Amino acid sequence: MASAGTLGFDRSADIVVVGFGCAGLAAAITAWRAGAEVLVLEKEPADAHTPSTRMSGGMMMATTDVGKATAYLDRCAGGMVPRDVSEAWARRATGLIDWLLEIAPELNLARVGGAEHPEFEGSDAFGVYQPGGAKTRLDLNGKAGVFLWEKLAQNFHAKTGVPVLWDSPADRLIRADDGRIVGVETTDGRRIGARKGVILTCGGYLHNARMKRDYLRTWPVYFYGNPGNTGDGVRMAQEVGADLWHMNQMIGRAIGNFQLEDGSDLPVILFLNPPGYVITDRYGKRFADESAQANLLHGFYYHLLAYDPATGETPRNPCYWFFDEKRRKAGMLTLPSVGAHAVGIYTWSADNSAEVARGWIAKGSTIAEAAAAAGVADPAAAQAEVEAYNRACREGSPDPFGRPAETMVPVEEGPFYCVKLYPGGSNTTGGPRRNARAQILDTRGQPIPGLYAAGELGQATGMLYPSDGSNLSEGFCFGQIAAEAALADNGAAA
């Protein structure tokens, strides 16, 4: 039988962490604190490292009461996550803010909000925190994920000295004859031994077209997170017999996707506010209260998944966002502190004029003209729909989709604009099935010895996003849990 000692490793550590984002950092720091020798493998080079954690808004969810928070998370999961997994998260999230401030006191985390579904039992046990002394939600002040990551990574490197092997994509897991995962092989053939466990924290399948088409509920679908998150962890775990869970789920909203000169996609988070917006389907018809999308909540995308079996069409994928000159002048259509703009992948123009010139934002002297330029199938219907909406705004009539009165601002100051929106968002949540101890499970529900995961790779969320900051919270919490479990299961550090 091949033992770990005879497998010919180029280098070894107690714990090997695959992927350096929030989940990888949490796993690595936890194992290091316990005295383990830790090694991190990161796919991207150090000078082009854009984990979704760094691209993010930096908002973090924490809890104050384990029982209440478990009940709430369980309801949001909609049966897709066992209750004990939700409980493990709820418990760990009670100490999350202190844990982060211990690593990086300069984060200056401030409470800016709470649960996304305040009507659900247990919602009052949640707090959402933002770094950089923010006062309100989305008060990003240039101190979003870039700031969060910079402070955490600086402290991590300075305090732990844990090596990060940059430009080192993990390609396959190495298994001993007794079934235990004992290492990782990189794409260039280096064999890295893991004496006490491999922790996969390499993100979702945001940029893997085949996986998205096979697993998600609609197509096309785009994500504005790290270009390096291509589902490698899903494949590696499958190869050693992992079961998968909630592959059809994502943290979604409507987003932009544009083509760059070289033909590559540029997925972008778009910001509808300030009010003066209408979204229609491809036939020019409104279909939902757009303020949920404008306020960057996470339920609007469910409306975009509709499929018409009579025509074989997805009439709301894409859908079409109409606005006027007042909105164009009010600020960037994207949030400059997050996503591609924040990490230098694409610099969006301050007045949106460059994106109008590129044709990403279609323009017209009437709504119908802008609609035709964007590809709406019935531009006259779109014109009529926006006129009806404008009338309702002026008359103060209740909106048929229940849109709040204060958001009913007419779209009336030409020229007019239209942008195609697609279902997408920040991340996928499917991946290898795991238990409350972050162990990856095989298709018979048994832990695969030596293999753990955390973060958006098989994240412990289901139907509804619990609150702003839940992705980062999940990664930080289960990263800690995974490292503790790996050391407990396989012999604590020497």
Residue placing its CB nearer to ligand FAD in the complex, 63 or 229 = 229
Question: Among residues 169, 256, 275, 318, which is the contact residue for ligand FAD, using CB under 6 A?
Answer: 169
Measured CA to CA, the distance from residue 485 to residue 479 in angstroms comes to 10
Measured CA to CA, the distance from residue 470 to residue 217 in angstroms comes to 22
Residue placing its CB nearer to ligand FAD in the complex, 361 or 457 = 457
| Site membership for ligand FAD, residue 281 (CB under 6 A) | no
Residue placing its CB nearer to ligand FAD in the complex, 230 or 280 = 230
Count Cβ atoms below 10 Å from residue 179 Cβ, excluding itself.
Answer: 14
- Compute the chain's Rg from CA coordinates: 23
- Which DSSP symbol is given to 177? T
- One-letter amino acid at 177 equals D
Structure tokens at 13: 């550590």
> Whole-number minimum distance, CB 481 to ligand FAD, in Å?
14
| Site membership for ligand FAD, residue 267 (CB under 6 A) | no
Question: Among residues 12, 17, 21, 436, which is the contact residue for ligand FAD, using CB under 6 A?
Answer: 21
Strand partners, 452: 199, 439
Question: Among residues 29, 125, 170, 211, which is the contact residue for ligand FAD, using CB under 6 A?
Answer: 170
> Whole-number minimum distance, CB 470 to ligand FAD, in Å?
6
> Whole-number minimum distance, CB 292 to ligand FAD, in Å?
17
Phi and psi, residue 399, nearest 5°? -80, 135
Helix, strand, or coil (residue 137): coil
Residue placing its CB nearer to ligand FAD in the complex, 202 or 371 = 202
Question: Among residues 201, 337, 428, 461, which is the contact residue for ligand FAD, using CB under 6 A?
Answer: 201
Structure tokens at 360: 């990403």
> Whole-number minimum distance, CB 173 to ligand FAD, in Å?
11
Structure tokens at 441: 């499970």
- Which DSSP symbol is given to 301? G
Q: Is the bond leading into 274 cis (omega within 30 degrees of zero)?
A: yes
| Site membership for ligand FAD, residue 360 (CB under 6 A) | no
Asked whether 243 and 433 are in contact (CB, 8 A), the reply is yes
> Whole-number minimum distance, CB 167 to ligand FAD, in Å?
10
Question: Among residues 55, 181, 304, 343, which is the contact residue for ligand FAD, using CB under 6 A?
Answer: 55
Catalogue the long-range contacts made by 184-191 (C-beta closer than 8 Å, 24 or more residues apart): 184/16, 184/18, 184/41, 186/41, 190/10, 190/11, 191/7, 191/8, 191/9, 191/10
Asked whether 34 and 483 are in contact (CB, 8 A), the reply is yes
Measured CA to CA, the distance from residue 166 to residue 231 in angstroms comes to 18
> Whole-number minimum distance, CB 454 to ligand FAD, in Å?
7
| Site membership for ligand FAD, residue 424 (CB under 6 A) | no
User: Considering Cα of 388, then 393, then 396, then 397, what sign does the dihedral take?
Assistant: positive
Phi and psi, residue 139, nearest 5°? -85, 75
| Site membership for ligand FAD, residue 194 (CB under 6 A) | no
| Site membership for ligand FAD, residue 268 (CB under 6 A) | no
Binding-site size for ligand FAD (CB under 6 A) equals: 44
Beta strand segments in 22-78, E: 38-41, 60-63
| Site membership for ligand FAD, residue 183 (CB under 6 A) | no
| Site membership for ligand FAD, residue 426 (CB under 6 A) | yes
Measured CA to CA, the distance from residue 364 to residue 418 in angstroms comes to 9
| Site membership for ligand FAD, residue 232 (CB under 6 A) | yes
| Site membership for ligand FAD, residue 225 (CB under 6 A) | yes
> Whole-number minimum distance, CB 11 to ligand FAD, in Å?
15
**x/- track of binding to ligand FAD for residues 337-356 (CB under 6 A):** -xx-----------------
| Site membership for ligand FAD, residue 469 (CB under 6 A) | yes
Residue placing its CB nearer to ligand FAD in the complex, 28 or 367 = 28
Judged by CB under 6 A, the chain residues 56 through 95 that form the site for ligand FAD are 56-59
Residues that bind ligand FAD (CB under 6 A): 18-24, 41-44, 51-53, 55-59, 169-170, 201-203, 224-226, 228-229, 232, 269, 338-339, 426-427, 455-457, 468-472, 475
